[in-house]
């Protein structure tokens, strides 16, 4: 794909990002933003959920490496794992903001039928409902180990609001070294969460395809690379940012 002039987004795991130079190669080929399943900041939770590839990995190193390559991070975090206590919400949001995570997706742990987690919860008599409509990661459908279900729900709501407050978006943007990188973070995060009426209008008008060039602009390179790999769309992004500022 290198040399095909594409810009792309994708997903990856913490350990695959730290492994060899895979992520550098992806960045060269045009990777501009990435979905990363951090899940939890507590090692005990990772051990129990068998997400071993995240164990002992330095999450800060992951964030730093992606930032240095100009790749934006959509971090995914889960609340309510067995080791989580009431401080998990603030600790997680603070970590995400301090490390310049661009957008974050928070979830309430949801044991799906068929998974080992569901089997364990059933064995331990901790499933609270079989109403599948509630299994959307926004409701508490099992009994958490150390949290009251309503505290888990409130903490989840709080985290969503807190991470996307204007002040949090600004603080996370400032994590980046260059003004251009800061601006990109700011517009991507606020565009995603703060411009709901605009999105709704575009959907009603069935005009979502017209947003794609804008998305390509915001996804353009922020790291100074060799002139060879400099993409024409970078100029377009500059124009968009100039107009926006």
Partner 1 sequence: MIAPGNRPLKAKFILPALTEATDPYWRPIKYSLFPPLGLATLAAYLSQDDCAVIEDEHVQPLTFDDTPDLVIIQVYITNAYRAYKLADHYRKRGAFVCLGGLHVTSLPEEAIAHADTIFLGPGEQTFPQFLRDFRAGAPQRTYISTSGRTLERIPPIRRDLIQRRLYLVPNSIVVTRGCPQHCDFCYKDAFFQGGRGFYTQRVDDALAEINRLPGRHLYFLDDICWAIAASPKLYLKA
User: Site residues (CB under 8 A) for partner 1?
Assistant: 1-13, 16-17, 19, 22-23, 25-26, 29-31, 34, 48-53, 78, 109-117, 120, 132-133, 135-136, 138, 196, 199-200, 203, 206-209, 211-213, 215-216, 219, 233
Place of tokens 């729900």: 153
Closest approach of partner 1 to the CB of residue 203, in Å: 5
**Which of residues 114 and 125 has its CB atom nearest to partner 1 in the complex?**
114
Instruction: For the CB of residue 14, give the shortest distance to partner 1 in the complex, in Å.
Output: 10
Measured distance CA(152)–CA(126) in Å, rounded = 15
- To partner 1, the closest distance from the beta carbon of 81 in angstroms equals 9
Taking the C-alpha atoms of residue 184 and residue 98, their distance in angstroms, rounded to an integer, is 17
User: Between residues 94 and 158, which has the closer beta carbon with respect to partner 1?
Assistant: 158
CB burial of residue 141 (10 Å; 0-12, 13-18, 19+): buried
Q: Are 80 and 140 in contact (CB under 8 A)?
A: yes
Which is closer to partner 1, CB of 70 or CB of 175?
A: 70
Instruction: Kindly state the helix (H) or strand (E) to which residue 33 belongs, with its residue range.
Output: strand 31-39
Q: Which is nearer to partner 1, 66 or 175 (CB)?
A: 66
In whole angstroms, the minimum distance from the beta carbon of 204 to partner 1 comes to 9
Assess contact for 97 and 172: CB atoms under 8 A. Answer: yes
**Residues 14, 57: contact at Cβ < 8 Å?**
yes
In angstroms, give the least distance from the CB of 174 to partner 1: 26
- Dig out the tokens for 123 from the structure: 């064995």
CA–CA separation, 65 vs 135, rounded Å? 34
Nearest to partner 1 of 110, 173 (CB atom): 110
């Amino acid at each position: 794909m290198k040399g095909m002039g594409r810009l792309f987004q994708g997903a990856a795991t913490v350990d695959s990002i730290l492994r060899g130079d895979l992520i550098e190669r992806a960045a060269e080929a045009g990777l501009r933003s990435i979905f990363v399943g951090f899940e939890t900041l507590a090692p005990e939770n990772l051990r129990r959920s068998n997400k071993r590839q995240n164990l002992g990995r330095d999450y800060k190193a992951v964030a730093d490496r992606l930032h240095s390559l100009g790749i934006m991070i959509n971090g995914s975090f889960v609340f309510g794992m067995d080791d989580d206590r009431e401080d998990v919400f603030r600790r997680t949001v603070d970590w995400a903001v301090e490390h310049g995570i661009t957008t974050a997706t928070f979830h309430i742990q949801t044991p799906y039928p068929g998974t080992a987690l569901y089997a364990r919860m059933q064995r331990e008599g901790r499933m609270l409902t079989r109403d599948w409509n509630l299994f959307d990661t926004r409701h508490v459908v099992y009994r958490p180990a150390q949290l009251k279900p309503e505290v888990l729900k409130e903490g989840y709501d709080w985290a969503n609001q807190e991470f996307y407050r204007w002040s949090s978006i600004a603080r996370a943007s400032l994590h980046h070294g260059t003004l251009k990188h800061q601006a990109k973070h700011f517009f991507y995060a606020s565009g995603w969460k703060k411009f709901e009426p605009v999105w709704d209008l575009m959907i009603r008008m069935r005009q979502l395809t017209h947003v794609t060039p804008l998305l390509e602009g915001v996804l353009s390179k922020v790291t100074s690379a060799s002139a060879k790999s400099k993409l024409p769309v970078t100029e377009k992004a500059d124009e968009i940012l100039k107009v926006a500022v």
